[in-house]
Amino acid sequence: MGLLNHQNSYTNIKICGLSKEQDILVANSLAIEAIGFVFYPPSPRYVSPQQALQLGNILSDEIQIVALVVDPSDELIQEIRSQVRVDIWQFHGDESPARCAEIAQATPWMKAARIDDQFVLQDFCLQYSASAAWILDAVVEGFGGGGQTFNWQLIPDIWIKENAHRVVLSGGLNSHNVAEAIAHFRPLGVDISSGVEASRGNKEPNLMQQFVDAVRSTDQYNSIKGS
């Protein structure tokens, strides 16, 4: 288990922006690899470190906690560290590689790439080479969770072939398009938030179930096909 586990024969799943006890209980039942807590106050999915502590107490020990932050202050980082079991840090702002490493310390971290036709992926990957995985996301207002896909054709096939094992794919995924996304990228993992919501910030258990089923069915099909 684990979002960054390269040994898994299946696609790792992270559901981000969980904020209620029901969300956690559903995640436990689905046995996904990771959940994300959003420590960014403008987000409709924001939770305080204290809320995350309470939610984390009922989360399965087998499921990793990803702390999503956007240009966080030292005070916020200290508060998160003191209350939350952080297994992976996720940086969605303009944090430099040095700042990411400073915050994460010995904990693995991931950096989000906001892809558009002006984005230079090669430069980004060189700059953030220490990132345990790169999150490929769309450019949206509010740093993620906007339910929009990016143009997958902007990513060169040769780059995908060489780097898919470090890609956590995000941006507008849902149960209807995730099979195509996995076929295109063969990523280390997939990351979903708004695609399993009934309304902004409100996770829908049935949509969570449908998404996980779609990913697992795709993995099973690919395994049988031998691809």
- pLDDT at position 7: 84
In a domain, 223, yes or no: no
- Is 224 contained in some domain? no
100 is catalytic: no
Catalytic residue among 16, 23, 100, 191: 16
Q: Is 147 within the bounds of a domain? A: yes
Q: Do the domain assignments include residue 227?
A: no
d(CA 201, CA 204): 10
Cβ–Cβ under 8 Å, residues 45 and 38: yes
Q: Which helix (H) or strand (E) holds 133?
A: strand 133-138
6 in any annotated domain = no
Q: Is residue 113 part of a domain?
A: yes
pLDDT at 8 exceeding the cut of 60: yes
- Which domain covers residue 145, as residue numbers? 12-218
Per the prediction, the chain carries an average pLDDT of 93
Question: Is residue 149 assigned to a domain?
Answer: yes
pLDDT at res. 138 = 85
Which residue in the list 94, 123, 125, 137 is annotated as catalytic?
Answer: 137
Count how many residues are written for the chain: 227
Mean pLDDT of the 174-185 span: 96
Q: Is the pTM of this model over 0.85?
A: yes
Query: Is position 137 annotated as part of the catalytic site?
Result: yes
The pLDDT tens digits for 115-150 are 988 899 999 999 999 999 999 998 766 545 556 788
Q: Considering only CA atoms, which of 23, 57, 66, 74 is closest in space to residue 197?
A: 23
pLDDT at 222 over 90: no
Task: Decide if 131 contacts 103 (C-beta within 8 A).
Answer: no
Does 223 have pLDDT greater than 80? Answer: no
Torsion angle (degrees, nearest 10) of CA 27, 104, 159, 220: -20
Alpha helices in 68-190 (DSSP H): 74-83, 97-104, 121-127, 157-163, 178-185
User: pLDDT by residue (tens digit) across 20-78?
Assistant: 999 999 999 999 999 999 999 999 999 999 999 999 999 999 999 999 999 999 999 99
Q: Output the domain CATH number for residue 174.
A: 3.20.20.70
> Considering the domain boundaries, does residue 58 fall inside one?
yes
Query: Residue 113 — φ and ψ, nearest 5°?
Result: -105, 120
Q: What is the rounded distance in angstroms from the CA atom of residue 2 to the CA atom of residue 93?
A: 24
pLDDT score at 49: 98
* Joined tokens for residue 183: 């076929």
- State in Å, rounded, how far the first CA of the chain is from the last one: 22
Query: Cα(87)–Cα(89) distance, rounded to whole angstroms?
Result: 7
How many structural domains comprise the chain? 1
